[in-house]
A and B are shown apart, each in its own frame.
Chain A
Amino acid sequence: MSARVAGIILLALLFCVPFAVRSEFWLSFWLLVLMFAFLGQSWNVLGGYGGQFSFGHALFFGIGAYGTAVLQMRHGVNAYVAGAMAIGVGAAVGGIIGLLVFRYRLRGAYFALVTLAFAEVARVLVSSFQYTGSGFGMLIPLSRSVENFQFADRRVFYLIAWLLVVIGSLIAVWLENSRFGAQLMAVRENEDAAQALGINLVRTKVLALTLSGGMAATVGVFYVQNYLFVDSHIAFSPAMSIEALLVCIVGGLGTVFGPLFGAVVLHALGEAAKQATGNAPGLNLVLYGIVLIVALRFLPNGVAGLFARKPRRKQDTGNA
């Protein structure tokens, strides 16, 4: 079974969850898995396909979450319009940071550190101003109606999250079958050679970060509409950034369903550990660390790599 087929089967099963599962708890659990799968996909666009490892994807998540909350609460903007604007801002910030960072040829660890710094600065900033709710965060008043993008039935949110994951997977499929994706992967593999073949490095990486930023902001918007609350420790936390990259690395970097596999495996393990130990705080993080080490040691291509056909023998590689 190829990873592609396994991913499609998993998506189909996840679609059935709200119709089969009655428990509110498990519905929320799978909703969270889907949300992180899409957040992971946003990281995958940049990190998996583009080779630029961000350590601050919480920045874009936070911009989406705070963007829509501030627009609704302080300016009375309609929830859908506010959401769309917040996603736009997330994408724009991605583009601007990309221009700054890639213009000056920061890559590898330096790129990771700069993104981490931006996320931290944003966390401090939003908790310092009244306008953004200072230390208390922002609460969106409960007013359930379709116009407000609030639904009494959590299953509606679940299906939206499922749809987001489908869209994320389609974006990854597009990357694997388009000029932009080919150029992005070429940049990941070798910047000098990519440049020699006429690829504009800065443009390619900036576009990837813009797309990635917009996708991560979408998760933020969705989060706020679902929980009606956000504060700086949730929105811009390093934990959020790490979750985004972890699901990709565990699931399979630069693969269509890697983030989904990773999110399912990590959260299933985390939840199992919680149940087994009676909710010991922080235990899931310890477990994530162990899973990461095991994954890197035994599954360098992630869960998706498990499905890959056995590598062909290196016969026939004699004289090319």
Chain B
Amino acid sequence: MLEVRDLGKRFGGIKAVDGASLDVAQGEIVALIGPNGAGKTTLFAAITGFVPPDTGHVRFMGEPITGLPPHVICARGMVRTFQIVQPFGALSVRENIAVGAHLHRPRRRDALAKAEQVAARVGLDRRLDQPAATLTVAGRKRLELARALATDPKLLLLDEVMAGLNPTEISEIVPVVRGIRDSGVTVMLIEHVMQAVVSLSDRAYVLNNGRIIASGSTAQVASDPQVIEAYLGHGAAERVKSQLQASHAS
């Protein structure tokens, strides 16, 4: 469904994304993980048209979409959310979600009805008439999700929808994301919360210094020595291994 090949983006002398390739198939939940500054958000931005990539190409549903503007890519069915939430502060929750719903619904009444329906799905139905600016962080993350969902996407790119949430809030939103996948929307997510990554995703890609350094099933990836070193530093894989052996021995 999504095919990214050798995507590269540099900012001045820094290669934020350096020849990254990945695939997402219909119906999956795929995680994109990696240490801070690895280039995950830039990779999302390059895929969705927010920053034009310098090299490589992106295909979505078999069509090339490299370099298309974000609103065109959105209309084709790929929507992203923002790590730093971007609510339409002065508008109510209902109006916020309706903006997304309007993409395929010209009539106001239809868009508002869709907004209510989506709000119920992500657990915002009690806050429909509240201005978006008064929502908590958890509420705003849900709003990001709801607005994106209201555009009826085929592929949803979620950029850290769980960052900044407490464990209770995370355990509430995990089933929401799973429900989205079960309703036929493919999901790719950037996430730091490993609990969520492991319980949600089928597969994971690991990005470090702009390169994909590992991919595979989530459990596989989490025990990959290269990945451990990327997160914890050089030599960390050896230490972790010996500690594990020591604890097994005792």
Find residues 62-119 in chain B having any chain A CB closer than 8 Å to their own CB: 69-71, 74-75, 79-82, 86-91, 95, 98-100, 102-103, 105-108, 111
Given A186-B99, A190-B88, A198-B151, the answer on whether A320 and B142 have CB atoms closer than 8 Å is yes
Find residues 271-320 in chain A having any chain B CB closer than 8 Å to their own CB: 314, 317-320
Given A193-B82, A196-B74, the answer on whether A182 and B142 have CB atoms closer than 8 Å is no
B134 close to A (CB within 8 Å): yes
Report yes or no: A177 in contact with B108, Cβ–Cβ below 8 A.
yes
Chain A residues lying within 8 Å of B4, measured Cβ to Cβ, are none
| Most-contacted residue by chain A among B99, B105, B106, B138 (CB, 10 A) | B99
Q: Write the B136-177 contact mask toward A (1 if CB under 8 angstroms, else 0).
A: 101110100001100100000000000000001100000000
**Cα distance A193–B99 in the bound complex, in angstroms:** 10
**Cα distance A318–B148 in the bound complex, in angstroms:** 23
Q: Write the B21-63 contact mask toward A (1 if CB under 8 angstroms, else 0).
A: 0000000000000000000000000001010000000000000
| Most-contacted residue by chain B among A185, A194, A320 (CB, 10 A) | A320
The one of B89, B98, B103 that contacts A198, using a Cβ cutoff of 8 Å: B103
Chain A residues lying within 8 Å of B82, measured Cβ to Cβ, are 192-193, 196
Chain B residues lying within 8 Å of A178, measured Cβ to Cβ, are 108
A179 close to B (CB within 8 Å): yes
Interface residue tally on A, bucketed by range:
20 to 34
Kindly report which residue of chain A lies nearest to residue B138, judged by CB atoms. Answer: A320
Report yes or no: B130 in contact with A317, Cβ–Cβ below 8 A.
yes
Report yes or no: B136 in contact with A197, Cβ–Cβ below 8 A.
no
B127 close to A (CB within 8 Å): yes
Report yes or no: A190 in contact with B86, Cβ–Cβ below 8 A.
yes
Report yes or no: A186 in contact with B134, Cβ–Cβ below 8 A.
no
Chain B residues lying within 8 Å of A318, measured Cβ to Cβ, are 136
Please give the residue numbers on chain A whose beta carbons come within 8 Å of chain B beta carbons, in ascending order. 177-179, 182-183, 185-186, 189-190, 192-201, 314, 317-320
Which 8 pairs from chain A and chain B are nearest by CB? A320-B139, A189-B88, A198-B74, A193-B86, A198-B103, A186-B99, A195-B70, A179-B102
11 A-B pairs within 8 Å (CB atoms) are namely: A179-B107, A179-B108, A182-B95, A189-B87, A190-B87, A192-B86, A195-B74, A197-B151, A317-B139, A318-B136, A319-B168
